[in-house]
Amino acid sequence: MSLLRRNNVKIFGHGEQPMLFGHGFGCDQNMWRYITPAFLNRYKIVLFDHVGSGSSDLIAYDREKYGTLHGYADDVLEICKYLELENIIFVGHSVGATIGMLSAIKEPGQFNKLVLIGPSPCYINDEGYIGGFDKEDIEEMLEHMEHDFVGWSNMFAPLIMGNSDRPSLGVELTNSFCSTDHEIAKHFAKVTFLSDNRKDLPKLQIQSLIMQCSEDIIVPREVGEYMLSHMKSAQMVYLNATGHCPNLSSPLETMTAIESFLA
């Protein structure tokens, strides 16, 4: 099986330094279409779909391998090695940001900078930590997904997207959720929302930008502040963008923040 086929890897742009974009749960590389045009004249753009998402090879999905986020991180590193990518700028959204962090912890020498959009090391509230959800809330959500994935998608995708004044955004995210293989998506959701990577934060040595959205029901402000205080080389930018997907809802503000960080 071709690795490039497995992850539906696409490469374009006119620069030498690679920018590798990792999408979040229920999405695919198409979610970066408003962001990449700003960088294609200066960077080599590399897009991919996590196995089980988008146009990846579903036959390659292994529940044991992808039973933790480390399985996805290994894929990222395999892509980097296969394409001989060095000095990488990794841009990750949501759980894709966490996967990027795990990749950079395993192979720090391959990465130059990380851009983390709406990241969270842990979604569950704990003593002294606000993750956004009680464990019972996550379990109830996962049970809803298990019994009625389409119904869950139609209910929650617009809430995750936010920006209710622009309902087309919520429709796009709903369609993206529903277009995935439902069994794989449910497993990915379980792995995503039950993961706890807080202990990994101090291990990250790469200069990182945390992009914190306002009115984000998935990642409250306290999560970004926690990450900033536990990472050795990180800075924060607070976006005016609302919701969890500024790469779709506020691409200009998102691009501007990335440009400033890279400069």
Residue 245: CATH number of its domain? 3.40.50.1820
pLDDT value at position 229?
Answer: 96
Instruction: Give per-residue pLDDT as tens, 201-235.
Output: 999 999 999 999 988 999 999 999 999 999 999 99
Share of the chain above pLDDT 70, in %: 100
Instruction: Give per-residue pLDDT as tens, 77-92.
Output: 999 999 999 999 999 9
Best CA proximity match to 42, nearest among 9, 22, 10, 19: 19
Tokens for 205, please give them: 């040595």
Which residue range forms the structural domain that includes residue 15? Answer: 3-262
Provide the 3-class DSSP secondary structure of residue 115: strand
Mean pLDDT value across residues 234-241: 96
Instruction: Give per-residue pLDDT as tens, 19-34.
Output: 999 999 999 999 999 9
Catalytic residues: 94, 216, 244
Phi, psi for residue 143 in degrees, rounded to 5: -65, -40
Share of the chain above pLDDT 90, in %: 92
* pLDDT class of 102 with cuts at 50, 70, 90: very high
pLDDT value at position 72?
Answer: 98
**Alpha carbon of residue 179 to chain centroid:** 18
pLDDT value at position 203?
Answer: 97
Mean pLDDT value across residues 124-139: 96
Query: Exposed, middle or buried, 14 (CB in 10 Å: 0-12/13-18/19+)?
Result: exposed
Would the pLDDT of 250 be above 90?
Answer: yes
The number of distinct structural domains making up the chain is 1
pTM of the predicted model as reported, rounded to 2 decimal places? 0.96
Query: Exposure pattern of 159-186 as b/e (b: 16+ CB <10 Å)?
Result: ebbbbeeeeebbebbbebbbebebebbb
Q: Pairing relation of β-strands 10-13 and 44-47?
A: antiparallel
Instruction: Give per-residue pLDDT as tens, 161-189.
Output: 998 889 899 998 999 988 889 999 999 99
* pLDDT class of 1 with cuts at 50, 70, 90: low
pLDDT value at position 178?
Answer: 86
Round to whole Å and give the CA distance between 165 and 186: 29
